[in-house]
Chain A
Amino acid sequence: EPEVTQTPSHQVTQMGQEVILRCVPISNHLYFYWYRQILGQKVEFLVSFYNNEISEKSEIFDDQFSVERPDGSNFTLKIRSTKLEDSAMYFCASNKQGHNEQFFGPGTRLTVL
């Protein structure tokens, strides 16, 4: 069964450094998302992406964040200058056109020191 995959599974970085989190959505899906979950808290929406542009973003998704679909399979989240409070699990999700169910990847645990 097709799955969303994410790399790396764990990323440790120093405050102020740039990180890129990578996702491969399910191959016939057209809508892509990033969510984050700070330890012990709820899953929070960051951004949605369709047809090579952002379709919706939350107040968390400020100028430090950007997303890109650099090729036909990858979907990336870049954090330009990481802060301690960016430490969280980051989940990528995708869904098919005409379907509302979003399928999530296993997540990348980001630790900012």
Chain B
Amino acid sequence: EDQVTQSPEALRLQEGESSSLNCSYTVSGLRGLFWYRQDPGKGPEFLFTLYSAGEEKEKERLKATLTKKESFLHITAPKPEDSATYLCAVRNSGSRLTFGEGTQLTVNP
């Protein structure tokens, strides 16, 4: 059974204070690791897909990296508008995404 574990559960940062979120996974036949952002009461918003160890993707202040067992979402010089829950998900040979519990990020001004 595919499993995704995210840490920490919650993270408070000051504006400009860089940090990383972790996603550990076990999956049979990885067909993609996905990062989403979720604001309260809204649907997940797609950020990145990573397929193989060593791959990196960047978008504004966010950079996602992948190893064979985990992925990191690095946030550089965050702003208050980056406050959200960040979700990690994996896809195996089927079609379903298996999500982690998420990391709730709060960036204080």
Contacts and interface: CB of A to CB of B under 8 A. Distances in A.
Interface of A: 4, 31, 33, 35, 41-45, 48, 50, 55-56, 58, 89, 91, 100-107, 109
Contacts of B99: 42-44
Given A4-B43, A35-B97, A102-B34, 12 more contacts: A31-B95, A33-B95, A42-B101, A43-B87, A45-B98, A48-B94, A50-B95, A100-B32, A101-B49, A102-B97, A104-B36, A104-B46
A74 to B, nearest CB: 17
A103 B46 contact: yes
Interface residues of B, number: 23
Contacts of A35: 97
A4 B99 CA distance: 20
A55 B43 contact: no
Nearest to A46: B96
A100 B101 contact: no
Contact of B31 (A43, A100, A106): A100
Interface in B42-69: 42-46, 49
Contacts of A109: 41
A106 B87 CA distance: 15
Contact of A100 (B87, B91, B98): B91
Most buried by B among A45, A48, A105: A45
A56 B87 contact: no
B98 A105 contact: no
B95 A48 contact: yes
Contact of A107 (B36, B43, B98): B43
A102 B43 contact: no
A91 B75 CA distance: 27
B46 A101 contact: yes
A42 B102 contact: yes
Nearest to B94: A56
B29 to A, nearest CB: 13
A89 B44 CA distance: 12
Nearest to A43: B99
Nearest to B36: A104
